[in-house]
Amino acid sequence: MKKRSDKRYGMVINLDKCIGCGNCVVACASENNVPVMHDESDKTRSVSWIQLYLVTNGKKFPDTELVYIPRPCMQCDNPSCVTVCPATATRKDPNTGTISQIYTRCIGCRYCMAACPYHARSFNWFDPSFPEGMTRYLSPEVSPRMRGVVEKCTFCHHRLMRANAKAYAEDRRELKEGEYFPACAEACPTKAIAFGNLDNPEHKVSRLIKSPHAFRLLEKLGTEPKVYYLSKKAWVRRMVYNHLKK
């Protein structure tokens, strides 16, 4: 596998700005026809492409601090899910670097779920369920998934196709910054999520990832995630590298 794609679309999430409102989760579910279950509190069965985690600094009241960590698919440069897939149902796009998931090829073995260290993938244990009448809001840009397949965040790939089509119609071959961004980044009310091509020096994200406050999750595994986080709080960054020192 070619290590670097032509473009490297990536995300930088500023945790100091994330207020844990869940807009990204709702916008994602709404944009991508994610089904809802009667009991969404059953997190091993429910489907979410982006999920919030809550961490605290472990100090006693009133010195406690908390931070939310939104976790989409990390779209790794070196994805462990792709190499284990026996059905070639998931693949790294050589142009954009995003990891695709082809539902009709997926045989539901869930190897990729076991391989993904970020728990970014969900399995459809049941037929997709939507409350009565709610199939009317489904978007034709994203195909609803069937029982027995794995699904995950695609960086709203259909939005890229939409932006590309528009650019093509206007006789442009390159997208401008801000023409393509996923639904979560668009919906973030505090603009905590920045999105763009990490390799393009003109894109904001390429500057942000060079910040001394930037980090990625589980970097030690060598998966090279393209989702970066920013936090000025030292305890947050320490927590991420907790394998180094106890």
Partner 1 sequence: MELSRRNFVKFGLGVAAGTLLTPLPWKLLDDIAIWTQNWSWVPTPLRGKVSTINSVCTLCSGACGISVRKVGDRVVRVEGRDFPVNHGSVCPLGLAGPQLLYNEAIRWKAPMKKVSGKWQEVSWDEALNMLASRIKASPGKLVAIDGNQSMSTMAALVRRFLDAVDSRNYVTMPREEDTHAAVSSLMMGSDLVAFDLENSDFILSFGCGLLDGWGSSRMLSIWSRNNPYLVQVEPRLSNTASKADNWLAAFPGTEAALAFGIAHVLIKENLYDKDFVNSTSGFAAYANVVESYSPQAVEKITGVSKDAIVDVARSFSSAKSPVALVGQGKGNMLGNLQSFMAVYALNALVGNVNKKGGILAYDSDNIKAKGLLEFMDSDSSCVDTLLVFSANPVYTVPSCEDFAKALAKIPFVVSFSPFKDETSLMADLVLPDHTHLEKMADIMQPAGLQCYTLSKPAVQPLYNTMHSGDFVTALAKKLGIPFQSSFEDALKERAKLLSISWEDVKESGYAKLSGKLSGKKFSFAEVKHVSFPSVNGLVLCPVELINIASGWIANPPFLNKTLFEHQLRKGELFVELNPETASELGLKESSRAVLKTLHGELKVRVHLFDGAMPGVVFIPFGLGHTAYDSYLKGKGVNPNEVLESWHTKVELREVV
* Closest approach of partner 1 to the CB of residue 203, in Å: 20
Question: Residue 12: beta bridge partners?
Answer: 194, 228
Question: Whose Cβ is closer to partner 1: residue 124's or residue 223's?
Answer: 124
* Closest approach of partner 1 to the CB of residue 97, in Å: 26
* Closest approach of partner 1 to the CB of residue 234, in Å: 16
Question: Whose Cβ is closer to partner 1: residue 1's or residue 36's?
Answer: 36
Q: Within 96-233, where are the H helices?
A: 111-115, 157-169, 183-187, 204-208
* Closest approach of partner 1 to the CB of residue 136, in Å: 5
* Closest approach of partner 1 to the CB of residue 68, in Å: 8
Joined together, the tokens standing for residue 217 give 């999750």
Question: Whose Cβ is closer to partner 1: residue 20's or residue 117's?
Answer: 20
- Tell me which DSSP letter residue 137 carries: G
Q: CA 156 → CA 33, 49, 135, distances in Å?
A: 11, 10, 20
Q: Which residues bind partner 1 (CB under 8 A)?
A: 16-17, 19-23, 25-27, 29-31, 33-34, 36, 38-43, 46, 48, 52, 54, 56, 58-62, 64-67, 103-105, 107, 127-128, 130-140, 144-149, 183, 186-187, 189-192
* Closest approach of partner 1 to the CB of residue 3, in Å: 31
DSSP one-letter string for 29-73: HHHTT----S-TT-TTTS--SSEEEEEE--PPTTS--EEEEEE--
Question: Whose Cβ is closer to partner 1: residue 56's or residue 83's?
Answer: 56
**In angstroms, rounded to a whole number, what is the distance separating the alpha carbons of residues 76 and 10?**
9
Question: Whose Cβ is closer to partner 1: residue 65's or residue 219's?
Answer: 65
Joined together, the tokens standing for residue 185 give 């980044």
Question: Whose Cβ is closer to partner 1: residue 8's or residue 159's?
Answer: 159
Q: CA 123 → CA 69, 109, 181, distances in Å?
A: 22, 10, 25
- C-beta of residue 159 within 8 angstroms of C-beta of residue 118: no
Rounded to 10 degrees, the C-alpha dihedral 120/207/95/218 comes to: -30
Question: Whose Cβ is closer to partner 1: residue 141's or residue 199's?
Answer: 141
- C-beta of residue 220 within 8 angstroms of C-beta of residue 243: yes
* Closest approach of partner 1 to the CB of residue 64, in Å: 4
